[in-house]
Amino acid sequence: MKGHILIVDDQKGVRRLLEELFKNDGWKVHLACDGKEAVAKVSEMTPEIILMDMKMPDMNGLEASQVILSRQEQIPIIMMTAYGEMEVVSRALNAGVKKCITKPFDIMELRELVQEVILNKVS
Ligand SMILES: [Mg+2]
């Protein structure tokens, strides 16, 4: 039985696609459309893993990750960045984000990355 996954992206199409993928895999899926909503959701429930878009209005993925990890550093976050955002990637990893994946990505690649991060968390 899989736990709770929080998917954060300002694009509805991306949220829908990832929601369907992870629901089919047995996850209890929660959605947020920006960084502020993600921070609010995490204060209500503790997801086992978070998929976080970088570019979002109001509060971006890096800022949201920093706030979340300052409160609950054990939650693994995978950040979805745009091609060429190398500086953002290194700042995210320094902030404690576990992995970054470049958009556009193969959803099977993201699925494998989630498995990998969850396995590393357990061991
Ligand atoms: Mg975005």
Distance 80 CA to ligand 1 centre (A): 9
Specify whether the CB–CB gap between 49 and 115 falls below 8 A. no
Question: Domain holding 25: CATH number?
Answer: 3.40.50.2300
The pair of three-digit structure tokens given for residue 4, joined into one six-digit string: 């709770």
Q: Quick one: pLDDT at residue 16?
A: 98
Q: Quick one: pLDDT at residue 83?
A: 86
Number of domains within the chain: 1
DSSP letter (8 states) at residue 85: -
Q: Quick one: pLDDT at residue 1?
A: 64
Distance 44 CA to ligand 1 centre (A): 23
- β partners of residue 77: 50
* pLDDT per residue as tens digits for the range 90-103: 999 999 999 999 99
Helix axes 107-122, 12-24, angle to 10 degrees: 60
What mean pLDDT is reported for the chain? Answer: 95
Q: What is the pTM of this model?
A: 0.96
Distance 8 CA to ligand 1 centre (A): 9
Distance 111 CA to ligand 1 centre (A): 19
> Domain span at residue 23?
4-122
